[in-house]
Amino acid sequence: MKQSMTSTAVEFKNVDIIFGDRQKEAVPMVDAGKTREEILDATGCVLGVADGSIRIEEGEICVLMGLSGSGKSTLLRAVNGLNKVTRGEVLVQDGDTMVDVASCDAKTLRHMRTERVSMVFQQFALLPWRTVAENVGLGLELKGMPKAEREAIVEEKLKLVSLDKWKDKYAHELSGGMQQRVGLARAFATDADILLMDEPFSALDPLIRDHLQDELLELQRNLKKTIIFVSHDLDEALKIGTHIAIMEGGRIVQYGEPEEIVLNPANEYVAEFVAHMNPLNVLRCASLMTEVENMRRDGDQLILDKYDAFKVDLDGQGAVVKATFDGKLDLKLFSYSEETELADIVSDCVVALASPDITMKRAIELRQATGNPVLLVRDGRLVGVVGDEEIYQGILRQSSIADAAQ
């Protein structure tokens, strides 16, 4: 089945996945909201996914997460047809159409697996008798690609993951982190736009896992793939995910952006997940700031702090033109970007102008580097400020969520 394409890369529409011989009996129980245990007792069938519906846009990293047995890997494997869908649609972008891999014919499914969707496994799945280069080129070899063309692609992808000098080594000669990077290179070699990653870093030591998460984000900035990533680690999900789907008992209980999930957990299950996470890399200044409309004024000036010491002047379009301390000292205005080295702005005479989309952690770093509140600017206009009070409130808000979960 094919449908007209949008910017959507993958869409799950009311997906049920049930394992067992009595699925027809189990389906009405799913509709009635019965639990996995109730369905198992009544029919002997195992509920993998119930009414799963989410849309994943091109270039996103969508993280499916939950405890073991929540259904996250089951849903992931429906994208390439490894798990058969009992009911519903799994639409995957293919050129200018959306293919339902749950109902397409075998030829179309083979095309989707070889051209559109690639997979990185938790266990590295490297063939021990093949070199690194031969492992990376395996999929291309099975497709019948000529050797010279295949080797050129393999060389390119190994450079991408910084393993080109290890191409003639074997799996046992590589560390766990390096083996996982071979798995990434193998997935990239197919040039598939959609990557499925089933807990790819969970078997690694924490420091290596953190490093590979950083590498994945850096690669994503350059490659802009659509990635569906399975994890049971909320910190990992919050770090890499554009959107997160939290699953329990085969059902998606909340789907949204990381900050939304942290600030507004849908139920106690989600609240327990977010209760003890570090908010610094998740909360954005847009949700912490005091907005311009709520800032105190001294005539035409806006007051930035509770001591009435820091003040700013705006022009007719709302842009910051001047910042002063105690009415005497003019402060330099410094426009911050992601490329800025914080060491370059260490000064008590600087006020940083930054996007309201920066993280709470970065706001704290800018506050520390300049000694002053951070002015938040969008489209050239001042929209708010983050200083000590706003930072404290953000920390206390997360603490209250943790207390409520306990």
Domains and CATH numbers, the chain: 2-277 (3.40.50.300), 285-393 (3.10.580)
Tokens representing residue 72 in the block: 């996250």
Lowest mean pLDDT among 174-178, 214-218, 350-354, 394-398: 394-398
What pLDDT does 4 receive? 44
**Whether this model's pTM surpasses 0.85:** no
Residue 144 pLDDT grade (very low, low, confident, very high; cuts 50, 70, 90): confident
Of 191, 186, 199, nearest in space to 228 by CA? 199
Residue 5 pLDDT grade (very low, low, confident, very high; cuts 50, 70, 90): very low
Q: Which residue has the higher pLDDT, 4 or 149?
A: 149
How many Cβ atoms are within 10 Å of 228's Cβ, its own excluded? 26
What pLDDT does 404 receive? 57
The one-letter code for the residue type at 198 is: D
Q: What is the mean pLDDT of residues 151-167?
A: 83
What pLDDT does 58 receive? 93
Proportion of the chain above pLDDT 90, given as a percent: 30
Count of all residues that appear for the chain in the document: 406
What pLDDT does 271 receive? 86
- CA 264, 267, 270, 274 torsion: positive or negative? positive
Over residues 52-87, the pLDDT tens digits come to 999 999 999 999 998 888 999 999 999 999 999 999
Cα distances (Å, whole numbers) of residue 37 to 48, 111, 322: 11, 37, 64
Check whether 346 has a pLDDT greater than 80: no
Q: What is the mean pLDDT of residues 257-284?
A: 84
Q: How far apart are CA 360 and CA 373, in angstroms?
A: 13
Q: How far apart are CA 282 and CA 63, in angstroms?
A: 15
Check whether 344 has a pLDDT greater than 70: no
Q: What is the mean pLDDT of residues 244-267?
A: 91
Q: How far apart are CA 228 and CA 360, in angstroms?
A: 26
What pLDDT does 298 receive? 83
Q: How far apart are CA 161 and CA 216, in angstroms?
A: 9
What pLDDT does 273 receive? 82
Q: What is the mean pLDDT of residues 207-226?
A: 83
Residue 40 pLDDT grade (very low, low, confident, very high; cuts 50, 70, 90): very high
- CA 14, 17, 21, 22 torsion: positive or negative? negative
Cα distances (Å, whole numbers) of residue 21 to 18, 25, 84, 200, 219: 9, 9, 13, 32, 43
Q: What is the mean pLDDT of residues 371-376?
A: 88
Over residues 87-142, the pLDDT tens digits come to 999 999 998 899 999 999 999 999 998 889 888 776 667 778 888 888 888 877 87
Q: Which residue has the higher pLDDT, 372 or 177?
A: 372
Lowest mean pLDDT among 16-25, 270-279, 314-323: 270-279
Q: Which residue has the higher pLDDT, 332 or 253?
A: 253
Burial 128-156 (b: 16+ CB within 10 A, else e): eeebbbbbbbbbbeeeeeeeeebbebbee
Check whether 369 has a pLDDT greater than 80: yes
**Which residues, in sequence order, are bridge partners of residue 56?**
10
Proportion of the chain above pLDDT 70, given as a percent: 92
Of 315, 93, 391, 344, nearest in space to 226 by CA? 93
Check whether 173 has a pLDDT greater than 50: yes
Check whether 308 has a pLDDT greater than 80: no
138 and 127 in contact (C-beta within 8 Å)? Answer: yes
How would you write the chain as a 3-class SS string?
CEEECCCEEEEEEEEEEEECCCHHHHHHHHHCCCCHHHHHHHHCCEEEEEEEEEEEECCCEEEEECCCCCCHHHHHCCCCCCCCCCEEEEEEEECCEEEECCCCCHHHHHHHHHHHEEEECCCCCCCCCCEHHHHHCHHHHHCCCCHHHHHHHHHHHHHHCCCHHHCCCEHHHCCHHHHHHHHHHHHHHCCCCEEEEECCCCCCCHHHHHHHHHHHHHHHHHHCCEEEEEECCHHHHHHHCCEEEEEECCEEEEEECHHHHHHCCCCHHHHHHHCCCCHHHCCEHHHHCEEHHHCCEECCEEECCCCCCEEEEECCCCCEEEEEECCCEEEEEEECCCCCCHHHHCCCCEEEEECCCCEHHHHHHHHHHHCCCEEEEECCEEEEEECHHHHHHHHHHHHHHHHHHC
What pLDDT does 326 receive? 77
- Computed over every residue of the chain, the mean pLDDT equals 85
Place of tokens 């060491």: 343
